[in-house]
Amino acid sequence: MVWCAALGAALPSLYVVCTGGLTEDVAGSASGWVQTTMAAGNAIGAAVLTAVAAEHTASLASPTGAAALTSGYATALWVAAGLAVAGTLLTVRLRLRREAPATA
């Protein structure tokens, strides 16, 4: 639920940032690129996290049963959380660097 609320709040801002300041003739293309990039990112992310979950599940001593599958999913979710934190830190770092005053 938290993810859905956050995504609903973030997406309009994302489109405003990505298309703001563009002329009408290229704003549609920019919006399409944003949508395409998000779709590709979702597909790649799902594939990577599925591979992580499958690899972890297969590496267990007894890779059958609900407990093994749950362990694989938990590992994938921890990887996703780590990537989200890394992305947040990178965004903050890049934002601070861009807003830092230039030194002579």
The model scores a pTM over 0.75? no
Structure confidence at residue 13 (pLDDT)? 84
- φ, ψ (nearest 5 deg) of residue 71: -65, -40
CA distances to 19, 30, 36, 53 from 23, rounded to whole Å, are: 9, 10, 20, 44
pLDDT category of residue 103 using cuts at 50, 70 and 90? low
Report the length, in residues, of the chain: 104
* Cα separation values, 70 from 26, 58, 65, 66, 81, Å: 46, 12, 9, 6, 16
CB 49 within 8 A of CB 76: yes
User: What pLDDT is stored for residue 83 in this prediction?
Assistant: 93
pLDDT tens digits, 26-71: 988 988 998 999 899 999 999 999 999 999 999 988 878 888 999 9
E-strand stretches of the chain: none
Question: Looking at residue 102, what is its pLDDT?
Answer: 64
pLDDT digits (tens, 9 = 90+) for 78-88: 999 999 999 98
